[in-house]
Amino acid sequence: MYRASPSDLSGDPVELAPRLLGGIFRVDDVAVRLTEVEAYCGLADPGSHAYQRLTPRTQIMAGRPGHIYVYFSYGMHHAVNVVAHDDGEVGAILLRAGEIVDGIEMARARRIELRLARTSRSTRTSDSQYSPSIPDTHLTRGPGNLAAALGLTRTDDGAPLNHDDHAGLLAPDSLDSDTRPRRYELWLPTHPASPDAYVSTGRTGVSGEGGDPGRYPWRFALTGEPTVSPYRPAAPKTRPRS
């Protein structure tokens, strides 16, 4: 494997996304082997946050490739993307799932802490009586779980990958006891996954035209991987009853 450079992430996100499969994404002491990703192509992509226009939040998607875009989704969880696009274009690759290859206990502690925080106090009397069990294969299954296991929040948005000077990039995670600068790394496999080693489908949960699997089969997942999240199309909108 080799560390990804901005030039490695310069190009069409749809073509680059499968290159990330089998690669390693690391934040500090937790590393994940990527098994599922989705491509988003910016202004012309109806499934993208940057569709038709950029906002202060999505401006990072037009920035230099090789940074991360972290957003808060549905008021529940964070998700992390790698900025990737052609020169002068807009785009990013969503990291949807992976296998933890380093730091599994830290990842598990973060997931459990978050799950406990979301559990209503009315359903349990103490944390000791409610200790959720999370299988290893589910720790980073789905974009919200992956970001949580890595300790990522909006504070990390815009951070550079594989940057030797981390000045000012402080760890926001409550489980970290110090304020050491964070380390963000993306390693790409020397030999990319062959086309018969992964599947491409519509993007999970994307509504409207951008979720059309015929036009936008831009979700890529390694086959036979238990960490891959199931493909679910967006729920159809229903008309209110009169």
Dist. CA 220–CA 218, nearest whole Å: 6
Identify which of 110, 119, 117 has the alpha carbon closest to the alpha carbon of residue 152. Answer: 110
Q: What is the DSSP string of 39-100?
A: EE-GGG-TTSTTSSS--TTTGGGGS-SSBEEEEEETTTEEEEEEE---TT---EEEEEEEEE
State the pLDDT at residue 234. Answer: 78
Q: 2-222 adopts what CATH topology?
A: 3-methyladenine DNA Glycosylase; Chain A (3.10.300)
State the pLDDT at residue 176. Answer: 47
State the pLDDT at residue 131. Answer: 58
Query: Which parts of the chain register pLDDT below 50?
Result: 121-122, 125, 166-177, 240-242
Taking the domains of the chain in order of start, what are their residue ranges? Answer: 2-222
State the pLDDT at residue 175. Answer: 43
Tokens representing residue 57 in the block = 């939040």
Per the confidence metrics, is the pTM higher than 0.85? Answer: yes
State the pLDDT at residue 242. Answer: 36
